[in-house]
Amino acid sequence: MNSYQKALEERKKQHLLRTLPLPPEGFDFYSNDYLGFAQSKSLQSEIEKANTSIKKNGSTGSRLLSGNSSFALEVEQQIADFHQTEAATVYPSGYTANIGLISCLATKETTLVCDELIHASLIDGARLGVSRKVRFRHNSIESLEEKLQSIAGQKLVIVESVYSMDGDICPLEQVAELCTAYNAMLIVDEAHAMGVYGENGEGLVQELNLHNRVLARIVTYGKGPGIHGAAVVGPLWLKEYQVNFSRSLIFSTAPNDHQFASISAMYTYLPFASADRNKLHKIVAYFIQKRKDSKFQWVSSPSQIQSLIVPGNEQVIKLSTALRQGGINALPIRKPSVAEGSERIRFCIHAYNTNEEIDLLFRTLENYLID
């Protein structure tokens, strides 16, 4: 047995083996399709219309070589306008956006000041850079201030607006205040807020009117927006900087026109989806009421991500199996994705979930956890 196979055996023993499951039957409390856009016929027909004028199957090269087009630049301007900023740079996914952006900003003149719960893609970006890195306690303004006070030189604070595992929300206004006070730049990953928050689904930064206080936002399209891809939005100089230093942008074939067309159609569609957003916020409120009435250990979250703490990898897998048998699909999140002891079932709530499905979910939990 080689060392790679031994590592797999070790994972199996610890109930940590990752697999590629096919979608199970049952009510969806696990996907990131918060607004139902991934299955929306109206969005699909907008995307098909946008795709009819496309002439090339592939982009043929990096954006810096043969892969650029006036269409790509037009779509990026559409994105920048929507997000009330100067420029946007599209990446194939949020992961590639984060590793490209953060690694090129993590220079030796910079200290990254990161919330301890930022996503793996931001952490990987930080690891690829050469800057000093410090972490502050999750969502703690006191801890952030303490770190900022102790750092001399250029500082870059990295947070998420809605945290992917806990579903809680960054105190963005206070974070922005501190960044101004300590002359730090601020980067906000809006992966779980994009499409969901803001009058037209712009994300939390614009909902709070903080877009001029933030250096860059990462908006991703595979969750609320129901498609695929991502963009970094911010000032023009930052786009120029990425074109020169972001390795996942420079050394990779550009997204093809189909991806740009889908992104463009999604942005055109987004402002007309306030009914879906309202439905989502209403059903989330129903879930939160049920959560507050229940006796279990929940992470306090106001968003569409709600987590039930069930310590232990084996225990959390057993509960997710029981839920699946009861018709509820929800994912067990295990160590090392979350810290030991904070293993959880993560429930993602969607505009298309119903009160009856949530009632069933809570009945199934009670039957399992109280028996």
Binding residues for ligand PLP, per CB under 6 A? 93-95, 98, 119, 121, 160, 164, 189, 191, 220, 222, 230
- Based on CB atoms, which residue is closest to ligand PLP, 37 or 358? 37
Query: Least distance in Å: CB of 258 to ligand PLP?
Result: 16
- Based on CB atoms, which residue is closest to ligand PLP, 220 or 259? 220
Query: Least distance in Å: CB of 102 to ligand PLP?
Result: 11
- Based on CB atoms, which residue is closest to ligand PLP, 94 or 198? 94
Decide if 201 contacts 194 (C-beta within 8 A). Answer: yes
Query: Least distance in Å: CB of 309 to ligand PLP?
Result: 19
- Based on CB atoms, which residue is closest to ligand PLP, 80 or 191? 191
Decide if 131 contacts 112 (C-beta within 8 A). Answer: yes
Query: Least distance in Å: CB of 165 to ligand PLP?
Result: 8
- Based on CB atoms, which residue is closest to ligand PLP, 193 or 358? 193
- Based on CB atoms, which residue is closest to ligand PLP, 86 or 124? 124
Which two three-digit tokens encode residue 309? 């703490």
Query: Least distance in Å: CB of 194 to ligand PLP?
Result: 10
- Based on CB atoms, which residue is closest to ligand PLP, 329 or 364? 329
For residue 336, whether the previous peptide bond is cis, meaning omega lies within 30 degrees of 0, is yes
Query: Least distance in Å: CB of 114 to ligand PLP?
Result: 12
Give the CB-nearest residue to ligand PLP: 94
Query: Least distance in Å: CB of 275 to ligand PLP?
Result: 25
- Based on CB atoms, which residue is closest to ligand PLP, 210 or 231? 231
Decide if 91 contacts 248 (C-beta within 8 A). Answer: yes
Query: Least distance in Å: CB of 222 to ligand PLP?
Result: 4
